[in-house]
Chains A and B, each alone.
Chain A
Amino acid sequence: MQCELCPKLCIIEPGQSGDCRVRINIDDVLTTVVYGFPCSIHSDPIEKKPLFHFLPGTNILSLATVGCNLHCLNCQNWEISQANPEDTPAAPYPPEKLVEIARENRFPSLAYTYTDPVVYYEYTYDTAKLAHENNIRNVLVTAGYINPAPWKELLKFIDAANIDLKGISEDFYRNICSGTLKPVLDALVIAKASGILLEVTNLVIPTLNDRPEQIRRLVKWIRANLGSDTPMHFSRFSPRYKMRHLPPTSAQTLDTAREIALEEGLNYVYIGNILSAEGQNTYCPSCKALLIERSGYTILQNRLSKGCCPDCNEKIYGVWQ
């Protein structure tokens, strides 16, 4: 049996799972064993995803099951993403229950995050569909390692996504993530074309993807294929999982990455996982006025007026209410 959800196209023998650990061949039926059983469910500020241009200042009901179809050596959430469901406690939350909790607690949106919603595709899909029927919006935080057909199907019920573009070289994806680059680039283009609010994150890892020419190539691709309004987040790496020998990313490297992205014409460039004065704020691309001031996940001031700059009336890319 072949699973056709992601580019790995795993051939799964009876009783075995795919590379993601959670899609199993049971009696020649492809079965998802984590459907309705998140291992993590929390109320997060939406800025933590990170999403800076989608309902700022709101909390989002965030959940994940175990499993991932990539195996990044630097994974920040490896305790759940690289875990087996047999070893990881989970609680029963069917889609109806999640939507009920979101309604009762007035969460405007749900996030499928922490591990990768691609591997719990059916759970994400059914919950997102039901959430939309109840006027609750859906957010994906994903590496975008998925085949086009299921991706397009899922995007019908998604309002915003932060897609992790881990690097811009095939070697990086093969050697560090056990994946490939092209499907991620295709997923980014498809997501943008679908009309959802799209933000992109790049985790900057010392010596692996932090050279200025690598950053420049990455932001050039984003500008050419996703547009200059696409918010870009450069995140600080912390030594985790199988990459504890590298130091955390320096503030200077992140500042340089931000400067390069701004030079290349991206309008909204942020720095994450580290406190930064300018790197967390949103500025008007036209008149450069400060629009949203942030400190960590907190909004200190939001000067936007109906999604526009109050000084020059420039429309700012985003979903603001």
Chain B
Amino acid sequence: MTRRNFIRVISGTLSTGLAALCCIAEKVLPRRFTRAVRCNSYPGPVNSKKNIKNVGKWSG
């Protein structure tokens, strides 16, 4: 094997291994989670307070 071929095989193996490690790490390591920031204003129409005594018409 020539030196050039040897380097090609080594670099190919290393890059394949590195890609596999990245894939595994992405699946195994827990994703970090960043909280969203609270917006100061609501983008839609804002009502006065609601009558909370009623049973909701929605499912759940």
Which residues of chain A have a CB within 8 Å of any CB of chain B? 3-5, 23-24, 26, 29-37, 40-45, 48-49, 61-62, 64, 66, 76-77, 80, 84-93, 101, 105, 113-114, 121-122, 125, 141, 147-150, 153, 162, 273
**Is B6 located at the chain interface by the 8 A CB criterion?**
no
Which residues of B from 22 to 39 have beta carbons under 8 Å from A?
Answer: 30-39
Tell me if A3 and B43 are in contact (CB < 8 A).
no
Q: How far apart sit A29 and B39, CA to CA, in the bound complex (Å)? A: 10
Tell me if B42 and A148 are in contact (CB < 8 A).
no
Query: Would you give 12 A-B contacts (Cβ < 8 Å), ordered by A?
Result: A3-B36, A23-B36, A26-B39, A32-B38, A35-B39, A43-B53, A62-B56, A77-B60, A89-B45, A89-B46, A93-B49, A148-B31
**Is B13 located at the chain interface by the 8 A CB criterion?**
no
Taking a contact as CB atoms closer than 8 A, the residue among B31, B45, B54, B59 that contacts A43 in the complex is: B54
Chain B count of residues within 8 A CB distance of the other chain? 27
CB neighbours (8 Å) of A61 from chain B are 52
Which residues of chain B have a CB within 8 Å of any CB of chain A? 30-39, 42-50, 52-56, 58-60
Known: A32-B38, A85-B43, A147-B33. 16 other contacts (CB 8 A): A5-B36, A26-B39, A33-B43, A40-B56, A41-B50, A42-B52, A42-B54, A42-B56, A44-B55, A49-B60, A88-B44, A88-B45, A101-B52, A114-B59, A122-B38, A125-B35
Taking a contact as CB atoms closer than 8 A, the residue among A32, A66, A89 that contacts B37 in the complex is: A32
Q: Smallest Cβ distance from B52 to chain A, in angstroms?
A: 5
Write the chain A residue with the least CB distance to B54.
A42
A-B complex: 5 closest residue pairs judged by Cβ atoms: A42-B56, A76-B59, A32-B36, A35-B38, A37-B42
Q: How far apart sit A41 and B51, CA to CA, in the bound complex (Å)? A: 8
Q: How far apart sit A90 and B42, CA to CA, in the bound complex (Å)? A: 8
CB neighbours (8 Å) of A76 from chain B are 58-60
CB neighbours (8 Å) of B60 from chain A are 48-49, 62, 76-77, 113-114, 141, 162
Q: Smallest Cβ distance from A311 to chain B, in angstroms?
A: 33
Tell me if A122 and B36 are in contact (CB < 8 A).
yes
Q: How far apart sit A98 and B56, CA to CA, in the bound complex (Å)? A: 16
CB neighbours (8 Å) of A42 from chain B are 52, 54-56
Tell me if A41 and B36 are in contact (CB < 8 A).
no
CB neighbours (8 Å) of A92 from chain B are 42, 46, 49
Q: How far apart sit A24 and B47, CA to CA, in the bound complex (Å)? A: 22
Tell me if B32 and A4 are in contact (CB < 8 A).
yes
Known: A91-B48, A150-B33. Is A77-B38 also a contact (CB below 8 A)?
Answer: no
Tell me if A43 and B44 are in contact (CB < 8 A).
no
Q: How far apart sit A162 and B60, CA to CA, in the bound complex (Å)? A: 9
CB neighbours (8 Å) of B56 from chain A are 40, 42, 44, 48, 62, 114
Q: Smallest Cβ distance from B25 to chain A, in angstroms?
A: 15
Q: How far apart sit A200 and B32, CA to CA, in the bound complex (Å)? A: 28
Q: How far apart sit A33 and B38, CA to CA, in the bound complex (Å)? A: 7
Q: How far apart sit A3 and B32, CA to CA, in the bound complex (Å)? A: 10
Q: How far apart sit A317 and B46, CA to CA, in the bound complex (Å)? A: 42
Q: Smallest Cβ distance from B34 to chain A, in angstroms?
A: 7
Q: How far apart sit A110 and B40, CA to CA, in the bound complex (Å)? A: 24
CB neighbours (8 Å) of B35 from chain A are 121-122, 125
